[in-house]
Protein backbone atom coordinates (compact mmCIF):
# COMPACT_ATOMS: atom_id res chain seq x y z
CA UNK A 1 0.00 0.00 0.00
CA UNK A 2 1.50 3.32 -1.05
CA UNK A 3 -0.08 5.51 1.67
CA UNK A 4 1.24 4.58 5.11
CA UNK A 5 -1.89 5.81 6.94
CA UNK A 6 -4.11 2.95 8.14
CA UNK A 7 -7.31 2.55 6.10
CA UNK A 8 -10.31 0.76 7.59
CA UNK A 9 -13.41 -0.52 5.84
CA UNK A 10 -16.44 -0.82 8.14
CA UNK A 11 -19.32 -2.85 6.67
CA UNK A 12 -22.80 -3.29 8.11
CA UNK A 13 -25.29 -5.75 6.69
CA UNK A 14 -29.05 -6.20 6.46
CA UNK A 15 -31.51 -4.19 8.52
CA UNK A 16 -28.79 -2.16 10.21
CA UNK A 17 -30.03 0.90 8.30
CA UNK A 18 -33.00 0.66 10.69
CA UNK A 19 -30.92 1.29 13.81
CA UNK A 20 -32.44 4.00 15.95
CA UNK A 21 -35.92 2.55 15.65
CA UNK A 22 -35.17 -1.18 15.22
CA UNK A 23 -35.76 -3.14 18.46
CA UNK A 24 -34.16 -0.44 20.64
CA UNK A 25 -34.26 -2.66 23.74
CA UNK A 26 -31.73 -4.89 21.96
CA UNK A 27 -29.79 -2.52 19.70
CA UNK A 28 -30.13 0.83 21.46
CA UNK A 29 -31.41 4.15 20.12
CA UNK A 30 -28.43 5.30 18.08
CA UNK A 31 -28.68 5.43 14.30
CA UNK A 32 -26.04 3.74 12.14
CA UNK A 33 -25.03 7.17 10.87
CA UNK A 34 -24.28 8.36 14.41
CA UNK A 35 -22.42 5.16 15.25
CA UNK A 36 -20.32 5.45 12.10
CA UNK A 37 -19.59 9.11 12.89
CA UNK A 38 -18.31 8.11 16.35
CA UNK A 39 -16.19 5.27 14.93
CA UNK A 40 -14.83 7.53 12.18
CA UNK A 41 -13.97 10.29 14.71
CA UNK A 42 -12.06 7.73 16.80
CA UNK A 43 -10.25 6.49 13.70
CA UNK A 44 -9.17 10.05 12.89
CA UNK A 45 -7.90 10.53 16.47
CA UNK A 46 -5.80 7.41 15.93
CA UNK A 47 -4.51 8.79 12.63
CA UNK A 48 -6.47 6.26 10.59
CA UNK A 49 -9.08 6.66 7.86
CA UNK A 50 -12.42 4.84 7.84
CA UNK A 51 -14.99 4.19 5.12
CA UNK A 52 -18.38 3.12 6.57
CA UNK A 53 -20.94 1.36 4.37
CA UNK A 54 -24.25 -0.51 4.73
CA UNK A 55 -26.08 -2.89 2.43
CA UNK A 56 -28.95 -5.34 2.70
CA UNK A 57 -27.43 -7.61 0.05
CA UNK A 58 -25.18 -10.59 0.75
CA UNK A 59 -23.50 -10.42 -2.67
CA UNK A 60 -22.63 -6.76 -2.17
CA UNK A 61 -20.86 -7.64 1.09
CA UNK A 62 -18.98 -10.40 -0.77
CA UNK A 63 -18.06 -7.89 -3.53
CA UNK A 64 -16.86 -5.24 -1.08
CA UNK A 65 -14.71 -7.74 0.84
CA UNK A 66 -13.29 -9.13 -2.41
CA UNK A 67 -12.37 -5.67 -3.68
CA UNK A 68 -10.72 -4.56 -0.43
CA UNK A 69 -7.23 -6.02 -0.87
CA UNK A 70 -4.70 -3.28 -1.62
CA UNK A 71 -7.17 -0.54 -0.67
CA UNK A 72 -7.83 -1.28 3.01
CA UNK A 73 -5.61 -2.58 5.81
CA UNK A 74 -8.47 -4.17 7.74
CA UNK A 75 -12.21 -4.79 7.59
CA UNK A 76 -14.65 -4.34 10.46
CA UNK A 77 -17.75 -6.34 9.71
CA UNK A 78 -21.23 -6.64 11.16
CA UNK A 79 -22.97 -8.95 8.66
CA UNK A 80 -26.30 -8.87 10.53
CA UNK A 81 -28.27 -12.09 10.08
CA UNK A 82 -25.82 -13.30 7.40
CA UNK A 83 -23.46 -13.94 10.33
CA UNK A 84 -25.35 -17.12 11.02
CA UNK A 85 -25.78 -18.40 7.46
CA UNK A 86 -23.33 -17.02 4.94
CA UNK A 87 -20.58 -19.38 3.85
CA UNK A 88 -20.04 -16.97 0.94
CA UNK A 89 -19.08 -14.18 3.37
CA UNK A 90 -16.87 -16.61 5.33
CA UNK A 91 -15.09 -17.57 2.11
CA UNK A 92 -14.76 -13.93 1.01
CA UNK A 93 -13.03 -13.06 4.31
CA UNK A 94 -10.80 -16.14 4.11
CA UNK A 95 -9.94 -15.38 0.49
CA UNK A 96 -9.44 -11.62 0.53
CA UNK A 97 -6.28 -11.60 2.62
CA UNK A 98 -7.43 -8.58 4.64
CA UNK A 99 -7.63 -8.99 8.44
CA UNK A 100 -11.28 -8.85 9.49
CA UNK A 101 -12.88 -8.19 12.86
CA UNK A 102 -16.43 -9.37 13.54
CA UNK A 103 -18.64 -6.84 15.32
CA UNK A 104 -22.14 -7.18 16.77
CA UNK A 105 -24.16 -4.61 18.67
CA UNK A 106 -25.91 -7.28 20.73
CA UNK A 107 -24.36 -10.22 22.55
CA UNK A 108 -25.29 -12.90 20.04
CA UNK A 109 -24.22 -15.62 22.52
CA UNK A 110 -26.88 -14.56 25.00
CA UNK A 111 -29.77 -14.49 22.51
CA UNK A 112 -31.85 -17.03 20.58
CA UNK A 113 -30.20 -20.38 19.80
CA UNK A 114 -30.02 -19.59 16.06
CA UNK A 115 -27.88 -16.50 16.74
CA UNK A 116 -25.33 -18.29 18.91
CA UNK A 117 -23.30 -19.64 16.03
CA UNK A 118 -21.29 -17.40 13.73
CA UNK A 119 -20.19 -19.04 10.48
CA UNK A 120 -17.76 -16.17 9.82
CA UNK A 121 -15.95 -16.25 13.19
CA UNK A 122 -13.34 -18.81 12.15
CA UNK A 123 -12.19 -16.55 9.30
CA UNK A 124 -11.86 -13.47 11.55
CA UNK A 125 -9.05 -12.15 13.75
CA UNK A 126 -11.48 -11.69 16.65
CA UNK A 127 -14.86 -10.35 17.59
CA UNK A 128 -16.46 -7.61 19.66
CA UNK A 129 -20.03 -8.27 20.71
CA UNK A 130 -22.61 -6.85 23.10
CA UNK A 131 -21.51 -3.22 23.50
CA UNK A 132 -24.07 -1.72 21.12
CA UNK A 133 -22.72 1.32 19.25
CA UNK A 134 -19.67 1.53 21.50
CA UNK A 135 -18.59 -1.79 19.97
CA UNK A 136 -17.98 -0.05 16.63
CA UNK A 137 -15.65 2.42 18.36
CA UNK A 138 -13.96 -0.36 20.34
CA UNK A 139 -13.46 -2.32 17.13
CA UNK A 140 -11.64 0.64 15.55
CA UNK A 141 -9.37 0.89 18.60
CA UNK A 142 -8.71 -2.86 18.63
CA UNK A 143 -7.90 -3.13 14.95
CA UNK A 144 -5.58 -0.11 14.97
CA UNK A 145 -3.68 -1.68 17.89
CA UNK A 146 -3.63 -5.00 16.02
CA UNK A 147 -2.23 -3.40 12.87
CA UNK A 148 0.31 -1.20 14.69
CA UNK A 149 1.62 -4.25 16.54
CA UNK A 150 2.29 -5.67 13.08
CA UNK A 151 4.13 -2.63 11.80
CA UNK A 152 1.36 -0.61 10.08
CA UNK A 153 1.14 3.13 10.76
C1 LIG B 1 -26.51 -8.35 14.84
C2 LIG B 1 -26.95 -9.70 15.43
C3 LIG B 1 -27.63 -10.55 14.36
O4 LIG B 1 -28.07 -11.78 14.92
C5 LIG B 1 -28.84 -9.82 13.80
O6 LIG B 1 -29.42 -10.58 12.76
C7 LIG B 1 -28.53 -8.44 13.37
C8 LIG B 1 -27.67 -7.62 14.21
C9 LIG B 1 -25.92 -7.43 15.94
O10 LIG B 1 -25.24 -6.47 15.57
O11 LIG B 1 -26.16 -7.64 17.12
O12 LIG B 1 -29.04 -7.98 12.34
O13 LIG B 1 -25.49 -8.58 13.89
CB atoms closer than 10 angstroms to residue 98: 18
pLDDT of residue 2: 46
In this prediction the pTM is 0.96
Report the number of distinct structural domains present in the chain: 1
What is the pLDDT tens value at each position of the chain, 153 positions in all? 446 899 999 999 999 999 999 999 999 999 999 999 999 999 999 999 999 999 999 999 999 999 999 999 999 999 999 999 999 999 999 999 999 999 999 999 999 999 999 999 999 999 999 999 999 999 999 999 999 999 987
Q: Would you please indicate which residues are annotated as catalytic (active-site) residues? A: 27, 104
Side-chain-side CA neighbours of residue 36 (13 Å)? 21
Tell me the torsion sign for CA atoms 17, 131, 59, 73. positive
- Is 131 domain-assigned? yes
Backbone angles phi, psi at 52, to 5 degrees: -105, 130
User: How does DSSP classify residue 151?
Assistant: T
Question: Which of 18, 36, 105 for mutating ligand 1's site (highest number of atoms within 8 Å of CB)?
Answer: 105
Q: Which pLDDT does position 20 carry in this prediction? A: 95
81 lines ligand 1 (CB under 6 A): yes
- The C-alpha atoms of residue 70 and residue 1 are separated, in whole angstroms, by 6
Give the CATH number of the domain where residue 25 resides: 3.40.50.9100
Reported as type and span, the H/E element at residue 148 is helix 134-149
Question: Does some domain include residue 52?
Answer: yes
> What spacing in Å lies between the alpha carbon of 146 and ligand 1's midpoint?
24
Which domain covers residue 69, as residue numbers? Answer: 6-149
Q: What is the pLDDT of residue 97?
A: 94
Per-residue pLDDT at 152: 87
Q: Confirm whether 1 is domain-assigned.
A: no
Amino acid sequence: MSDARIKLLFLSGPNLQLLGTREPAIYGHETLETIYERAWARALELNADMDGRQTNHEGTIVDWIGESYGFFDAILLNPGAYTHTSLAIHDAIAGAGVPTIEVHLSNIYAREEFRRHSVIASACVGSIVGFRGDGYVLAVEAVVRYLRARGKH
